[in-house]
Structure formats: C-alpha cells, structure tokens
Amino acid sequence: MKKIEAIIKPYRLAEVKEALIEIGVDGMTISEAKGFGRQKGHTEIYRGTEYTVDFLPKVKIEIVLPDTQVEAAVHVITKAAKTGKIGDGKIFVMPVEDAFRIRNEDKGERAVRMDLIAWQGCAERGYSAAK
C-alpha cells in the first residue's frame, strides 16, 4: 500500500476529485493548507498599501491505495491539477506499513478498499448492510 499526498491549487480540487472517482478511488481526506515553493508568494496592493503574501492557499489531498492503483492515481491527479504555471503543486508517494478499519477491524488492503472485498469481510464477521 502507498499513501499519496497531493498539494494542489484550491480551484483544481473539483477536477481532481472527479478524476479520482472515475478511476475507482472511493475515499480521500482533504485539508486546507498554506505554503510556498519556487513562487515564494506574491505581493498585493490593498487600499494603496502593498502587502507581501508569503503563504499561498493550497489544498492537501491524502489517499491510501493498493500499490496497483498508485500509478493511475498519480497520473489523473497530475492531469487534473496541471495548469502549466508555477504553483501547480506537488505529489508525494510514500509506503504505508499497515492500515486498520476501526468499524469492522479489517486490516491491510481490506481496510482501504471499499469494494466487494470489504463487503465479504463484513459478511465473514456476521455483519450485513442492514446493521
């Protein structure tokens, strides 16, 4: 399993989310963030006074996926978030040792996948969709 962290421009979030859903990603965590890279912020003029904005608004997307889905996820994030301008963002991929779903105690890939395997795991433990 791998964890993908993508830092993108906030107005690209809807496109990235849609692209990830299209390839079967069922869950993600989104956080508002501020930061800067090469662009080093910018200056703005407000009521005649110049201000330096060091930290620009960004969105951080966190996803944990089976290794087989990582390449596709990175590809669609890149394609959907790219504007071709400085500040488009970064994608980080890191290993995840293990994962646990609290609700039904699934472990490993079962804990991060929301498909038939997850439902089979629930059935094996005596859980049903009605509970």
Q: Which pLDDT score, from 0 to 100, does residue 70 have?
A: 93
Q: How many CB atoms lie within 10 A of CB 65?
A: 26
Asked whether the CA dihedral 111, 3, 15, 44 is positive or negative, the reply is: positive
Q: Which pLDDT score, from 0 to 100, does residue 116 have?
A: 43
CATH number of the domain at 30, please: 3.30.70.120
Split into its structural domains, the chain has a count of 2
Residues 19 and 54 in one domain: yes
Q: Which pLDDT score, from 0 to 100, does residue 114 have?
A: 57
Tokens of 96: 């995840």
Residues 105 and 89 in one domain: no
Q: What residue numbers bound the domain in which 112 lies?
A: 98-131
Between CA 64 and CA 99 the distance in angstroms is: 9
Residues 69 and 128 in one domain: no
Residues 31 and 75 in one domain: yes
Residue 119 banded pLDDT, cuts 50, 70, 90: very low
Tokens of 24: 């079967």
Q: Which pLDDT score, from 0 to 100, does residue 39 have?
A: 67
Single-letter code of the amino acid located at 34: K
Residues 61 and 114 in one domain: no
pTM, to two decimals:
0.77
Q: Which pLDDT score, from 0 to 100, does residue 40 have?
A: 67
Residues 71 and 114 in one domain: no
Q: Which pLDDT score, from 0 to 100, does residue 120 have?
A: 45
Region 18-27 average pLDDT: 91
Residue 10 banded pLDDT, cuts 50, 70, 90: very high
Between CA 77 and CA 113 the distance in angstroms is: 19
Cross-strand pairs, 50: 45
Residue 36 banded pLDDT, cuts 50, 70, 90: confident
Alpha-helix residue ranges (DSSP H) falling in the chain = 13-22, 67-81, 109-112, 116-124
Residues 40 and 91 in one domain: yes
Residues 6 and 43 in one domain: yes
